[in-house]
Amino acid sequence: MKKIVYIITILSLITGACSKESPAPRTKDETFSQMQQSIKAIASLSSESENKTTVIYNKFTTQFTQKTNSQTNTADQFNLRVKAASNNMHYPVKSYKADLKNGVLQADPKPDYITYQARHADTKYIESTIADIFNLKHLLQDVIKPEADHMTVNKDSMHYEGHGAVMTALFEYGLASSSLNQVESLADIQDLKVKSGSYTVDYSPVNVYPKTLTFDVEMTGTIDEEPVHIHMKQTTNYYDFNKTKVKDLIK
């Protein structure tokens, strides 16, 4: 009898230990809720991304590439390093780096401003670009949640593939990290439609911080009533959540 009690006790301890080590998986709603809470609590963040955008327009196929590194720790302190390239001399782009503190912009190469309005416009552009890069609330609310019923969610990743409007939102998000956004003549895209698209978000299993965003989207539209085809691929890594110390890039 004692042996039976002893065996039952051991089995109970093993079962209890296993239940502690293997908690019940989150539902989709629980995953989204935890991600939302974690995003709200972010006070500082770093990111790095690689973007490749191929544009077929006006008999030209142009490839724009960009590597972007950025840091933020308050609403008033950011840095941004952009390494941009284009294989088409008709659509030149520039690499640059910038620090922004309390609304004061320092950039390299140092821009020449004719008026303070031009300086103000550059500051607003950098502010807008960084705000878009770190807008994880937009990523959750406008990209992830709307297609919750059509995505696959695992313990540390979620995946969507389709033609939903979320891919347009993701394409617009990617423009902040694409050197295509430097080309004025290609900026006014009309009749934008999703041809195909997919994305994957890898996140930390505990806090559900979005750690890596990978997407691939093909869009069609028109520029000056001429057809344009755009294929954008991007991978963005987010890291040092609430541990980022913004460095000065301009010495």
pLDDT digits (tens, 9 = 90+) for 83-119: 999 999 999 999 999 998 888 888 888 877 677 777 7
Whether 9 is covered by a domain: the verdict is no
Whether 4 is covered by a domain: the verdict is no
Regions of the chain with pLDDT less than 50: 2, 5, 7-11, 13-14, 17-20
Whether 221 is covered by a domain: the verdict is yes
How many residues comprise the chain? Answer: 251
* Three-state secondary-structure class, residue 180: helix
Q: Give the count of domains, the chain.
A: 1
pLDDT of residue 19: 45
Whether 130 is covered by a domain: the verdict is yes
pLDDT of residue 74: 72
- Residue 25 CA to residue 30 CA, distance in Å, equals 9
pLDDT of residue 119: 77
Domain hosting 141: range is 31-239
**DSSP state, residue 112:** P
Whether 234 is covered by a domain: the verdict is yes
pLDDT of residue 52: 98
Give the CB-side neighbour count of residue 93, counting CA atoms within 13 A.
25
Whether 16 is covered by a domain: the verdict is no
Whether 19 is covered by a domain: the verdict is no
Residue 101: both structure tokens together: 């503190």
**Burial degree of 119 (CB within 10 A; 0-12, 13-18, 19+):** middle
Whether 183 is covered by a domain: the verdict is yes
pLDDT of residue 4: 52
